[in-house]
Amino acid sequence: MKSKLIIFLFLFLITFESNTLACHKGDFESTGKNHHKWGKNVGIFQYTENITISVSTTTSCDFYTAFLDSQYDFIQEQVSYGQGPHLDALAKINGCDEQVKTIFTQTLRVNFIDLFGNHRNSRALRNGIEKLIDSNSSLKLSCHRV
């Protein structure tokens, strides 16, 4: 019985190896929003996806990069509007004080092309946001990423 379990785990890890070596490419709550191809009641598939998210988030990228990757389209849309809950989350993740949240949001909006350009790269987005914070004296003093 124990050898069957080991074989199953080995095959499972080999099957999902490519998913565990990169940031998760989906929406963390995809099954709850009906965006997942199996719908809401997916059982073992959701369990497997959650394990993959956890492993990939802790091994090849941190939670911030995984958040940027999974929510990229929402962030891009809200930066273009200049407001939204994802921008509030970005301000908090970057440790920005409430007083500079508007400056943070406006800075992202003004630099939309530089942040999003012709690529969809969450690490480039992260680096771009960090550079904008460092280049703005108000943000540099008030945003302290933990």
Residues 104-123 have pLDDT tens digits of: 999 999 999 999 987 889 99
Q: Are residues 56 and 71 in the same domain?
A: no
Percent of the residues in the chain that have a pLDDT greater than 70, as a whole number: 58
Q: Are residues 125 and 74 in the same domain?
A: yes
- What's this model's pTM, rounded to 2 decimal places? 0.60
Q: Are residues 14 and 72 in the same domain?
A: no
Contacts for 75 with CB less than 8 Å, ≥ 6 apart? 68, 86, 87, 90, 125
- For range 139-145, the mean pLDDT: 89
pLDDT surpasses 50 at 16: no
Q: Are residues 74 and 137 in the same domain?
A: yes
**Domains in the chain: how many in total?**
2
> What's the domain range around 126?
67-142
Q: Are residues 83 and 136 in the same domain?
A: yes
pLDDT surpasses 80 at 55: no
134 within 8 A of 140, measured Cβ to Cβ: yes
pLDDT surpasses 80 at 85: yes
Q: Are residues 35 and 93 in the same domain?
A: no
